[in-house]
Amino acid sequence: MAVIAVVDDDESIRTALESLLRASGYQARTYSDALEFLGSSGPAEAHCLISDIQMPGMCGVEMHEKLIAMGFRIPTIFITAYPGAIGPDTSGMVACLPKPFEADTLLNCIEIALRERP
């Protein structure tokens, strides 16, 4: 079963995504911020990462760059209330979805991410 990590400082988003992922047959692991995720076993276990961009402490893009520097190549789907916050050339980025987004859109992006996983 694919492990999908969700990093978002908004508890309601984490809860909603965890429910959606579990109902769709994935194992969901949620984290309240980038540092919690980086300090856990999450990077080694995740097959796909869903991350907010704007978070206190370390933003999602910085976390993604840190993961790459640590040798983790996790296909990443960014979610944001601020579309256009990152460029399309971010290494390992599958999609950048504006909030709110359709559940089917996210699930399609996850399928693409899992196919592209190194």
Task: Give the residues across from 7 on adjacent strands.
Answer: 31, 51
User: What pLDDT, on the 0 to 100 scale, is given for residue 116?
Assistant: 77
Backbone angles phi, psi at 96, to 5 degrees: -130, 105
Domains of the chain: 3-116 (3.40.50.2300)
> Structure pTM?
0.94
22-63: per-residue pLDDT in tens? 999 999 999 999 999 999 999 999 999 999 999 999 999 999
Structure tokens of 96? 């950048």
Please report which confidence band the pLDDT of residue 110 belongs to, taking 50, 70 and 90 as the band edges.
very high
Backbone φ and ψ for 93, nearest 5 degrees, come out as -80, 125
Residues pairing with 4 in the sheet: 28, 48
What H or E segment, with its residue span, contains residue 80?
A: strand 76-80
Q: What is the DSSP letter of 56?
A: S
18's enclosing H/E stretch is: helix 11-23
Question: What is the predicted pLDDT for the residue at 24?
Answer: 98
